[in-house]
Amino acid sequence: MTEPASAPGGFNEAELRSIVRHACNATRLNPARARLLRGHTNAVVLLPEAAVVMKVARRGTPIEKVRRTVCFVQWLVDRGFPTVPLHPGLEQPVVIDGHAVTFWTYLPQPEGLPVAASKIAKPLFALHNLPTPPLSLPQHDNIRAIRASLATITSLPAAALRFLSDRADRLEVDLEHVAFALPEGPLQGDPQHRNALHQHGDAVLCDWDTVAIGRPEWDLVTIEVHCRRFGYEPSHYRDFADTYGFDVTVMPHYRTLRDLRELRMITTNARKTHHAPQSVHEVKRRVEGLRREDLDLTWHIL
């Protein structure tokens, strides 16, 4: 297996090779020229001969959680929703040495051309207006996710952890006063440029690991944070808001939503530094940006 990245995101390379080989044997897919695409949360491996993308969850990821994601995506596909489909004809996930492995249709992408936020708006709007799925999805809960991450972070000094915890305390109180405008429904959980793909001039959504039930404003503020923090011009987000038909930044409590979403992103990445130690510097840099209330600090992709 070849890999363009300098390290497979904390996955043991020999172990990952073994998982890919055994998963391909179990599904009769061709592993020739397998190539690691990403290795931050899951190991995402392209099988070019099979035109399949394989996602390997870390050991310890609940199998039922992955199975729930598979069921949700199949529900979307059955409704004709614009998503990357599962590879057909397989019982998924396949469990290899404690890792839940899923297989997805490979959609070739233009080099260096991320999906514009305005193109993400259409499928995201459609998602938020779907009926309640016929399966049990978790309730979207940023505070709970932040607390869980803070409890496991080992790469930040005690003072930084106290700062982040105090910020979470304050935002939890502020959240009680937020008046949401949009009705509750299915959320992607982490909609962003890397979780959407080009297809026939439009965009399809992918990476459903964080699917949940909640207020659409959480997905919308995630788009706004990504547009602002990762180097896009202000017009990039404005085009998204115009296409979607709702601008989260004009909400009276936008700042609370923004700060909670950014805090969750930082604490999640801080938790993952155990698998990606090279990202510690960027995480600390983001924390210092929060201390200065620097809303325009450009973040580097992790």
Kindly report, as residue ranges, where domains of CATH 3.90.1200.10 are found in the chain.
117-291
**Strand 202-205 to 196-199 pairing:** antiparallel
CA distance 282 to 274: 14
Task: State the Cα angle at 193 between 141 and 210, rounded to 5°.
Answer: 25
Domain 13-105 carries which CATH code?
3.30.200.20
Q: Which two tokens stand for residue 260?
A: 């909670």
pLDDT number for residue 4? 44
The residue with tokens 């297989």 is: 103
Dump pLDDT digits (tens) for 134-164. 999 999 999 999 999 999 999 999 999 999 9
Assign 3-class secondary structure to 31-98. Answer: CCCCEEEEECCCEEEEECCCCEEEEECCCCCCHHHHHHHHHHHHHHHHCCCCECCECCCCCCCEEECC
Instruction: Look at residue 234 and give its three-state secondary structure.
Output: helix
Kindly report, as residue ranges, where domains of CATH 3.30.200.20 are found in the chain.
13-105
Name the class of domain 117-291: alpha beta
In the 8-state DSSP scheme, what is residue 2? B
Q: Which residue from 269, 38, 28, 27 is spatially nearest to 16, judged by alpha carbons?
A: 38
Segments in the chain below pLDDT 50: 3-7
Residues 282/159, Cβ–Cβ less than 8 Å: no
pLDDT number for residue 5? 43
Dump pLDDT digits (tens) for 248-262. 999 999 999 999 999
